Structure 1
Amino acid sequence: MTATMAPAQPASAEHILSLFPEINTSLATQTRSALKDDDLQGYDEEQIRLMDEVCIVLDDHDQPIGSASKKVCHLMENINKGLLHRAFSCFLFDSQNRLLLQQRASEKITFPDMWTNTCCSHPLGVPGETGSTLDAAVAGVKRAAQRKLDQELGIKAKQVPVEHFDFLTRIHYKAPSDGKWGEHEIDYILFIKADVDLDINPNEVQATRYVSEAELKEMFKDDKLTFTPWFKLICQTMMFEWWEHLDHGLEKYKGEKDIRRML
């Protein structure tokens, strides 16, 4: 996969809504319980419950169309028809400029056991986390990142104030997890520098590790380790350049308006 700034084939709101009548255009909470869903039989109960969360469904220009459950958004049969949702990838660095990585729990339905950046998740289709302008969307993903850092890693909001997150850019990528599940996201890249206390949620995270640039590059050489596709894409393109400028010069990379297409 390579990165390009060229636009992808457009998927209009009308086309997406005609394909997926289950999309809720009012961004209201879904009511159906995933616990009763045949597609999710045999998975961890807490992870099934989280499949009821509502993701923000998008057109190819990152404009919200409505909301659909996490389960609907992550089925490959829907992704292959063009269903796209909003996400974020947060990269937390400590005062030594080491990046905090997490290894996803075995209980995860998508990409279990893989190493990835500090926190990767979705803003929800609820007031405060959605937005149709770039500024509003960035504010929403920052709130979502703060919420998920606590839920996954036990990092309290006071250690990661919303105003301390830096938004760099957005990437549009698609990746299968297995034959059934996958990702198709416009992913907001957030950096934050903070020394934090961890209280790991074992249902989400099985291990964490702080790494330098050199240590991360060595991890990528280890055939025994697996990494999430979005993390690999980011590292193969801009990650190490951004990291180099973490203390001096990151300003020029912040707030990019174009979406980086990595399809």
Structure 2
Amino acid sequence: MLSKSLKFGVAATRNLVKQTQGPHIRGLSTPCNKNKLDPVQESLLAEPCILVDESDNIIGQASKRECHELLADGTSPLHRAFSLFIFNEKGELLLQQRSDSKITFPSMWTNTCCSHPLMQGDEPDGVTGVKLAAQRRTTIELGIPESQLNVNKMQYLTRILYNAPSDGAWGEHELDYILFLKGNVTTALNSEEVQATEWIARQHFPEFISSIQASGAKLTPWFSLISRHLLPKWWKNLDRINEFEDHKTIHKFN
């Protein structure tokens, strides 16, 4: 459990729920029983995700279940996703800890919101559609009002491609759009999705990550990749983040 005495230089919105340590932490090392899925999470498995090739061309659609069940070779279909990072007026980043009932990477810490645009409405429409999906899911997960999630103020940065198993049954294989949003927001957590949040200042981020790892908890694989390879430069230059917009590059971490 993260020590409540740790100070990260923020007036944190700290909705922490006690973390279970030791062998009960679910994640990469603990198989998930498909027959005992959380009913709310299981109901979301019918959502239509957007299948893409490695150049991000749409090639079809498949259910969320089909996109996240591992095939015999240990892979799963490549589909489009997004990762939203919200920073307040102090430049602090809002992180979330995923709920214990999430099918993939439960209990892990990650960026503000990460999910999928769906093959519905305008969400398949490239960057514009991904921003709409980010607005929709961030409201569902964190209870942030849509009025505080202006898609016109979301900054698209780049895309990453990665493949990561969650356990023996489920995994992620995503072409992930990275979005930044600057502004103060209010949260009302959906406990089916998120169990805790934390505002973290850039200078205290390494300490926070060390504290998480010391507690026995983990970071999601996409957030770990972004944090190591891309986030430091972006965060350091938050006031001119638009200069890093890149529609050509897909960073491949396979």
Q: TM-score, normalised by structure 2?
A: 0.83
Amino acid corresponding to residue 242 of structure 1 in structure 2: W
User: Is the contact between residue 79 and residue 182 of structure 1 (CA under 8 Å) also seen in structure 2?
Assistant: no
2:105 counterpart (111, 118, 124): 111
Which residue number in structure 1 is paired with residue 236 of structure 2?
A: 244
User: Which of 48, 70, 73 in structure 2 is aligned with 1:76?
Assistant: 70
Match of residue 129 from structure 1: 123
Distance 2:241 2:220 in 1: 25
Alignment partners' CA distance in 2, 1:254 and 1:84? 23
Q: Which residue of 2 aligns with 1:157?
A: 146
Q: What residue in structure 2 maps to residue 253 of structure 1? A: 244
Higher RCO, 1 vs 2 (CA within 8 Å, ≥6 residues apart): 2
* 1:139 corresponding residue in structure 2: 128
Q: Please say if residues 141 and 189 of structure 2, whose CA atoms lie closer than 8 Å, have aligned partners that are also in contact.
A: yes
**Aligned residue among 216, 226, 233 for 1:234:** 226
Q: Which residue in 1 is equivalent to 2:180? A: 191
Give, in angstroms, the shift of residue 221 of structure 1.
1.7
CA distance in 1, matches of 2:72, 2:51: 12
The SS at the match of 2:164 is strand
The alpha-carbon deviation at position 78 of structure 1 amounts to 6.8
SS across alignment from 1:198: coil
- Structure 1 unaligned residues grouped into runs of 5+: 1-38, 132-136
In structure 2, the CA distance between the partners of 1:122 and 1:78, relative to structure 1 (3 Å rule), is farther
Instruction: Please provide the CA RMSD for this pair.
Output: 1.4
Q: Contact conserved, 1:142 with 1:165, CA < 8 A, in 2?
A: yes
Report if the CA contact (8 A) 1:79-1:184 is conserved: no
Structure 1 residues 81 and 98: CA distance shift in structure 2, 3 A: closer
Which of 24, 44, 48 aligns to 1:50? It is: 44
Task: Verify the 8 A CA contact 2:164 2:173 in the aligned structure 1.
Answer: yes
Structure 1 residue 100 corresponds to structure 2 residue 94: yes
CA distance in 1, matches of 2:141, 2:230: 26
Q: Is the 8 A contact 2:162 2:222 kept in 1?
A: yes
AA aligned opposite 1:241 = K
Percent of matched pairs sharing the same residue = 46
Name 1:202's counterpart in structure 2: 191
The answer to whether the aligner puts 1:87 opposite 2:78 as a matched pair is no
Q: CA deviation at 1:257?
A: 1.6
Moved more, 201-210 or 69-78: 69-78
The amino acid of 2:197's aligned partner reads T
Distance 1:147 1:138 in 2: 14
CA distance in 2, matches of 1:90, 1:179: 27
Which runs of 5 or more structure 2 residues have no equivalent in the other structure? 1-32
Cα pair 1:73 1:79 within 8 Å, conserved: no
Which string of whole-angstrom CA distances, capped at 9 and with x for unpartnered residues, describes residues 126-151 of structure 1?
120003xxxxx000000000001100
Does 1:262 pair with 2:253?
yes
Q: CA deviation at 1:255?
A: 3.3
Q: What is the number of residues matched between the two proteins?
A: 219
Any conservation in 2 of the 1:55–1:69 contact (CA below 8 Å)? Answer: yes
Cα distance between partner residues in 1 of 2:180 and 2:236: 13
Q: Measure the CA separation in 1 of the matches of 2:48 and 2:157.
A: 25
Stretches (4+) displaced over 2 A? 78-82
Label 1:78 to 1:244 Cα distance change in 2 as closer, same or farther (>3 A): farther
Q: Secondary structure at the match of 2:46?
A: coil
